[in-house]
Amino acid sequence: MILPKFYRVMHFVEGDTEFMDYLFARDYRHQLIDVERNFKAGLLKSWPEIETYVNRLEGDTTWDHLALMTLVFYDHLHVDNRLSTVMAYIFKNLYLAQSIHCSIKNDEEGQEYNQDLQFAILIGDYTFGYIMQILLDHKAERVLSSLASMICTISEGLVRKYHQAWNTIKEIDQIKAPLYATAFQTAAQLAGAGKESVYYRLGHDLGMAVELLHLGVNNQVDQYVHSSYEILTSLKNGQTYKGVIERVINELHDLACSQERAAVI
């Protein structure tokens, strides 16, 4: 595996919007801005009450990176920019709906039965209907089964988390990584690439690497980086071309190594 020199993580800003900018993220700057504009003109404009929940996601790794990684996955499989941007927007809304549902507490935790609770329940249901309409409008309804399966997987993970003592890595694996996995799976579906289960695993492992990198669990990051590289190699079928995913893998590896060296120093 070819490893480039370390590039520091930077930020670029559009208005009051701040995106994490890896070196590879520069290629998606305009699409990310479009995703954010669509979000502000969509759910956020229709339901200003959502802003409270959006503000709670400030600094959340998945919120900051899911749209970017969705664009990366779709670019790798040469899906056109318009549909890629739509799907990044959809995954952004799905994660928001998930986070709103997760804000609902149980009786022991002091959940109040008021308008806030009713809104948290209803906005999640509304979001899923809203997303289905977007998919139909863009003739992308073939991914509905994958999105439904993802929602079931995450919901099952949330139930298990409630009943079991999970560490952070287990929580990411069961609740966060399925979003990245399904993003790559849907890209394969819409691109007609086949091997959807393989792309699902690749998305899962790249998502784990991104999430763990920002937790500073660098020894675990490299495990998923190498697994991603092996899956990517199997998909190449002996070809030697270098695409965006290889760039992403190399940069994640380099960032993890750099953070580990800094921690030792």
Q: Which pLDDT does position 114 carry in this prediction? A: 53
Q: Give the start-to-end residue ranges of the domains of the chain.
A: 18-264
Confidence (pTM): 0.86
Cα separation, 35 vs 67, in Å, equals 8
Report the candidate in 186, 210, 151 with the shortest Cα–Cα distance to residue 74. Answer: 186
pLDDT tens figures, 115-166 = 666 666 677 778 888 898 999 999 999 999 999 999 999 988 888 887 787 8
Question: In the chain, which stretches have pLDDT less than 50?
Answer: 1-20, 107, 109-111, 264-265
Burial class (CB in 10 A: 0-12, 13-18, 19+), 111: middle
Give the per-residue SS3 of 129-146: HHHHHHHHHCCCHHHHHH
Q: Is the dihedral of CA 95, 96, 99, 101 positive or negative?
A: negative
Cα separation, 240 vs 61, in Å, equals 32
The fold of the 18-264 domain, in CATH, is: Farnesyl Diphosphate Synthase (1.10.600)
Q: Which pLDDT does position 54 carry in this prediction? A: 87
Q: Which pLDDT does position 192 carry in this prediction? A: 93
Q: Which pLDDT does position 242 carry in this prediction? A: 63
Cα separation, 256 vs 195, in Å, equals 29
